[in-house]
Amino acid sequence: MVVFLGVTATGIGLELLAAFDDSTQTIPWTDLIVEYVPAEVAAVVFGALALWLPVHFGRRYLMKARGVDWRAAARKNRRG
């Protein structure tokens, strides 16, 4: 989990750095995505994320409210 959060924070940090950098050599990921990913593909991906994220967090909060240890449940799901 620490690695995931670290990678996420690094990505956000680099995006902010690129957005506020005055150099013309620094290109934000947003600009690269718009340049190389078709709008239709991006719309599907962003739509899927917009649907998945609330469900994902909702399930975790529901598990927490029920007193389920999500780490133990995740390990159990990985084993099959």
Which pLDDT tens digits describe the chain residue by residue (80 residues)?
A: 789 899 999 989 988 988 888 888 888 888 889 999 999 999 999 999 999 999 999 998 998 899 988 787 777 777 65
Q: How far apart are CA 28 and CA 9, in angstroms?
A: 15
Quote the number of domains for the chain.
2
For residue 55, give the H/E element and its range. Answer: helix 39-65
Domain limits for position 16 = 1-36
Q: Residues 69, 43: one domain?
A: yes
60 is written with which tokens? 């975790």
Q: How far apart are CA 55 and CA 33, in angstroms?
A: 25
Q: What is the pLDDT of residue 19?
A: 84
Q: What is the pLDDT of residue 80?
A: 57
Q: How far apart are CA 50 and CA 42, in angstroms?
A: 12
Q: Residues 55, 79: one domain?
A: yes
Q: Residues 29, 58: one domain?
A: no
Q: What is the pLDDT of residue 71?
A: 80
Query: Using an 8 Å Cβ cutoff, are 70 and 63 in contact?
Result: yes
